[in-house]
Amino acid sequence: MYSKLALAALLLATAEARFGQEQSVANIISSLSNFGNPGVAPTLAGSTPGVLLAGANACDKLTLADRIVSELGNDKAVIDAAKKLVAAEKNFNPFAVSIPSICSDPALPATQELRGIVPLVDPAVTGADVENANSATSLTTPFANDGLSVADIVKANGFSNFTAQSSSGSTTAPAAGNNNNNNNNNGNNGNNGNTGAVTSTVTSAAPAATSEAADAGNGNDNNGDNNDNNGNNNDDNSNNGNDNANTGNDNNSNGVQKSTLAGADFGLCVPTMSFVGGRGNRKATEFTFLPKDPLVAKGQQEALNPNIITNRICDQLTNVCQANQAAKTACLDAKAQIQALGTKDASTAQKWNELLGFAGTDVSQ
Ligand SMILES: *[C@@H]1O[C@H](CO)[C@@H](O)[C@H](O)[C@H]1NC(C)=O
Ligand SMILES: CC(=O)N[C@H]1CO[C@H](CO)[C@@H](O)[C@@H]1O
């Protein structure tokens, strides 16, 4: 058991190390504040991490790169920043899939200066050395791209170990490597139910949204099962391209940590809360509450009063998370309990997380 935990912790550490790049691209975009209307560059920068998360569509970052140029202009600094986004690595949940997804929409990116650039991929993926060298080259010397999607260009230049994803979200597994797997088509429909069972320890939202040790304890055993199912889905895609398989895939691959509450699906979000000292310009001894998941926290100031944050989290379940009714009901119930409790310390955040099925989440970061 210990070694399993240690392994999960190691995998998380690796996954977390890779999350930093989302923020580094966001920083590059936010440095463009001299361009466009006031406030536009920070808004675009704020949208950047979201399109690089495991749950995002692979085409979203290309659409955002186009927007950066259309809203901030085509000064070289803007183009260079948008290129970095096109070339950026998009996360994937290593517990759910073993290969990245790349956009297969030939219309994207629309901006000519951004075309012919291919993305970085996780160095752990077989073939990544070729792709990552290509990505670096493409920033200065774009590849031939006429009528081609980024996925086409990537493939034409020697890397095919990825899932092609259209703007609408449907996916096609790579042709290579799956040809022997026709038998896996049977039973594919059974995979559609995975949402409830997935207990991935990696949240696509951010490293801060995950509690390493405790999550590892919760989710470990199920991870293996999910990996197997995902394998089947991919194989089925390559053979049939059928829609049922794709639906199943979407549910499995969003990579968001699931609640242990039966029936509660928090959708794209992990609704946990932290209690941290020294946030913003506060003294190190002044502790505040904040949602851990950046998607939930977006636009929210840290608060001394936990009820502000619980209220926000419950609102966000409808606004951005696509949570189900059971999750929303659990949230309102937990909100009332926290209010009744009246405490304002780490135990308050811990209690909240526990009430929503994320017991053991590290509230200190
Ligand atoms: C794709 O990469 C994964 C992860 O490294 C590896 O397990 C798999 O064998 C690779 N597939 C092909 C066809 O190279
Ligand atoms: C079985 C299952 O949970 N399917 C869901 C997959 O995701 C879609 C879109 O979010 C839902 O509509 C399905 O119910």
105 and 157 both lie in a single domain? yes
Bond prior to 123 in cis (omega within 30° of 0) = no
- pLDDT single digits (tens) 76-90: 999 999 999 999 999
Cβ burial, residue 139 (10 Å; 0-12/13-18/19+): middle
Q: Which atom of ligand 2 is nearest to the CA of 267?
A: 10
113 and 172 both lie in a single domain? yes
Q: Which atom of ligand 2 is nearest to the CA of 192?
A: 1
Q: Which of 102, 125, 181 to mutate to test ligand 1, by most ligand atoms within 8 A of the CB atom?
A: 125
| Residue nearest atom 11 in ligand 1 by C-alpha distance | 161
Read out DSSP for 105-162? -TT-S-SGGGTT------TTSTTHHHHHHHHHHHHHSPPP-TT--HHHHHHHTT---S
The reply to whether 55 falls in a domain is: yes
140: Cβ contacts below 8 Å, ≥ 6 apart: none
Q: Residue written as tokens 């780490």?
A: 346
164 and 27 both lie in a single domain? yes
Ligand with minimal distance to 267 CA:
2
The reply to whether 117 falls in a domain is: yes
66 and 145 both lie in a single domain? yes
163 and 85 both lie in a single domain? yes
Across all residues in the chain, what is the average pLDDT? 78
Ligand with minimal distance to 251 CA:
2
Residues having CB within 6 Å of any atom of ligand 1: 98-99, 124-127, 161, 176-177
Number of CB atoms found within 10 A of residue 88's CB: 22
CA of 186 to the centre of ligand 1 (A): 23
Residues having CB within 6 Å of any atom of ligand 2: 192-193, 195, 247, 250-251
Cα separation, 246 vs 249, in Å, equals: 5
The reply to whether 268 falls in a domain is: no
Confidence of residue 97 (pLDDT cuts 50, 70, 90): confident
247 and 165 both lie in a single domain? no
CA of 155 to the centre of ligand 2 (A): 30
The reply to whether 257 falls in a domain is: no
Q: Which atom of ligand 2 is nearest to the CA of 248?
A: 6
CA of 251 to the centre of ligand 2 (A): 6
**Domain count across the chain:** 3
Cα separation, 271 vs 353, in Å, equals: 8
Domain that holds residue 200: 195-251
203 and 351 both lie in a single domain? no
CA of 188 to the centre of ligand 2 (A): 15
205 and 178 both lie in a single domain? no
The closest alpha carbon to 349, from 332, 333, 361, belongs to 361
200 and 293 both lie in a single domain? no
282: Cβ contacts below 8 Å, ≥ 6 apart: 288, 302
- pLDDT single digits (tens) 226-250: 444 444 444 444 444 344 334 334 4
Sheet containing 101-103: which strands, arranged edge to edge?
Answer: 101-103, 163-165, 171-172
Q: Which of 17-26, 282-291, 322-331 has the lowest mean pLDDT?
A: 17-26
Ligand with minimal distance to 246 CA:
2
| Residue nearest atom 13 in ligand 1 by C-alpha distance | 177
Ligand with minimal distance to 129 CA:
1
135 and 214 both lie in a single domain? no
215 and 170 both lie in a single domain? no
The reply to whether 361 falls in a domain is: no
329: Cα separation from own chain's centroid: 25
User: What pTM does this model have?
Assistant: 0.48
Q: Which of 34-38, 253-257, 302-306 has the lowest mean pLDDT?
A: 253-257
| Residue nearest atom 6 in ligand 2 by C-alpha distance | 251
- Report helix angle 2-30 to 212-240, nearest 10: 80
Q: Decide which of 160, 184, 208 is a domain's last residue.
A: 184
Task: Map residue 40 onto helix, strand or coil.
Answer: helix
| Residue nearest atom 5 in ligand 1 by C-alpha distance | 125
The reply to whether 189 falls in a domain is: no
| Residue nearest atom 7 in ligand 2 by C-alpha distance | 251
Q: Which atom of ligand 2 is nearest to the CA of 322?
A: 10
* CA angle, 95 then 244 then 125, to 5°: 30
What are the angstrom distances between the C-alpha of 294 and each of 39, 76, 237, 269? 19, 30, 32, 9
21 and 132 both lie in a single domain? yes
Q: So what's the pLDDT on residue 222?
A: 38
pLDDT at 5 > cutoff 60: no
Cα separation, 325 vs 222, in Å, equals: 24
Enumerate helices (H) and strands (E) in the chain, giving the number of each: 13, 5
Q: Which of 93-97, 200-204, 323-327, 348-352 has the lowest mean pLDDT?
A: 200-204
Cα separation, 122 vs 299, in Å, equals: 30
Cα separation, 135 vs 142, in Å, equals: 9
CA of 131 to the centre of ligand 1 (A): 13
Ligand with minimal distance to 177 CA:
1
237: Cβ contacts below 8 Å, ≥ 6 apart: 163, 171, 172, 173, 245, 246, 249
